[in-house]
Amino acid sequence: MKRLQFIFLFIVLSLLGCEETTNSFYLDKSKLVEVNCIHLNPVFLSGDANQLHKSLRNYPELYENFYTRMIRAGEKDHLSNPNKIDSFTIPTLQHFLNDSSMKEIFKSIAATFNEFDDYKEKISVGMGNYSNIFNAGITHAQVGTFYSNFNATVLENDNIIWIGLDMYLGNDNDIVKMLPPNTFPNYYKQKMDKKYIISDLFFSFLMTHHFNPMGDELLARMLSYGKITYIMDKILPFESDENKFRYTKDELNWCKENEEYIWRFIIDEKLLYNKEPALVDPFFQEGPYTKSFGPDSPSTIGIWLGYEMIKDYVDNNNLDIVELMKENNIQKLLKYYEP
C-alpha cells in the first residue's frame, strides 16, 4: 500500500482548449498525459452511505485507509466481513454523513472547488514534463478528490493520486478557523490554501517515486531534498517559487536575504556533517519557523537550502536530471555552492 505523504499530495491532466497558454507550459507539447479525474466529493455531499461505501470499494487501498485511519469506523478485518459491514460499517458511515457539521463541510468543499479544470491542466502539464524528462512513457494518469476528514493532503493509493480537498479550504474559511488549535496550529492553518495543491501533489509524487536518501547528516539530507525540489522546478515552470516550498513571498525573500547567514550558522555550529536528530530534524520540520533562526524565519529551511546547492551544481556542470539523480557523492554536489 502506498504511503501517505506529508503535507504534502498528487494528480494529473486533461487537454484544455486554450492552446496558446497551454503550449507555453510544456517542455515538449507532443508528450501529453491524459488525466482521468475521479471526484468522490459529490457522493459525500449526497449523504447516501450505501452509495459512498460502494464507490469506496472500487479503490481497495483508499477504502481501507478511509475507514480505519480517517473516520475510524472499524478494524481492517471488518471491511471484508459482510455482516460487520451491514451491522456496523455502513450505519457508522451514515451517522457520520448525517452530522450537521459534516454537511456544512461538504457544502464548503463544493463551493470552494466548483471547478477543477485549472488543476487538471496544470497536472497534465507537470506529468507531461515529468514523462518527457525521465522518458517514462506516461500517456494516462488518474487523480481523485475526496474528503479525508482532515487527515491527508495528498496520498497515492490504488495507483491513483488522491487529494483531500478539505485540507485546502483556506485559512479564512470558517470551518478551518474552528479546527482545534492543538492539532491544527495557526501556522498550519495559514498554509491550508488551494494555491499549494499542485506543488504538494508533485512533491509527494516525487518523494514516493524518486526520493533517495544519501545519508543522515544535515548536508546529505539537504541535498536529497534538493534533488526533489530541483525536479519540481523543471516540471512545474508555471508554478511560483514560493508555492514550490510552501512558502509565502515574504518567507522566500527571508531565505534569499539570509542565505549567507544560514550557511555561516551551519558552519560555525559544525552542523554540516552532524547526524544528531535533535539538531538536524528542525531544518526539515513543519512549524512556525526554523529553530535557531528566530520567528521571522520560515520552517523547512533545509529543503530550500538543498535546492540552492543542487541548482548551483547543475548550473556549473550542464547536467540533465537523470544524470543528477545518479550522482550521490555529497562532496561533489556541494562543490559549486556559493551562498
- Residue 53's CB is within 10 A of a number of other CB atoms, namely 19
Question: Looking at the predicted structure, is the pLDDT value of residue 8 above 80?
Answer: no
- Residue 165's CB is within 10 A of a number of other CB atoms, namely 25
Question: Looking at the predicted structure, is the pLDDT value of residue 13 above 70?
Answer: no
Question: Looking at the predicted structure, is the pLDDT value of residue 316 above 50?
Answer: yes
For the segment 197-215, the average pLDDT, to the nearest whole number, is 97
- Give, in degrees to the nearest 5, the angle at Cα 199 between 179 and 29: 145
Using left for φ > 0, alpha for ψ between -120 and 50, and beta otherwise, residue 309 falls in: alpha
Lowest-pLDDT choice from 28-32, 93-97, 136-140, 322-326: 28-32
Q: What is the pTM of this model?
A: 0.90
Residue 24's pLDDT band (cuts 50, 70, 90)? very low
Q: Beta strands 4-5 and 140-146: pairing type?
A: unpaired
Cell numbers standing for residue 150: 482532515
State the pLDDT at residue 11.
30
Cell numbers standing for residue 51: 452509495
Residue 17's pLDDT band (cuts 50, 70, 90)? very low
Question: Looking at the predicted structure, is the pLDDT value of residue 21 above 80?
Answer: no
pLDDT of 284-305, one tens digit each?
Answer: 999 999 999 999 999 999 999 9
Please, is 241 exposed, middle or buried when counting C-beta atoms within 10 Å of its C-beta (0-12, 13-18, 19+)? middle
State the pLDDT at residue 107.
98
Q: Is there a contact between 144 and 151 (Cβ–Cβ < 8 Å)?
A: no
Residue 28's pLDDT band (cuts 50, 70, 90)? low
Burial 127-156 (b: 16+ CB within 10 A, else e): bbbbbbbbeeebeebbbbbbbbbbbbbbbb
Q: How far does CA 106 lie from the centroid of its chain?
A: 22
Q: Beta strands 160-164 and 154-157: pairing type?
A: antiparallel
State the pLDDT at residue 30.
59
For the segment 72-76, the average pLDDT, to the nearest whole number, is 89
For the segment 316-326, the average pLDDT, to the nearest whole number, is 94
Residue 105's pLDDT band (cuts 50, 70, 90)? very high
Lowest-pLDDT choice from 3-12, 19-28, 118-127, 232-241: 3-12
Question: Looking at the predicted structure, is the pLDDT value of residue 31 above 70?
Answer: no
Q: Is 146 helix (H, G, I), strand (E, B) or coil?
A: strand
Q: Is there a contact between 165 and 150 (Cβ–Cβ < 8 Å)?
A: no
State the pLDDT at residue 74.
82
pLDDT of 218-274, one tens digit each?
Answer: 999 999 999 999 999 999 999 999 999 999 999 999 999 999 999 999 999 999 999
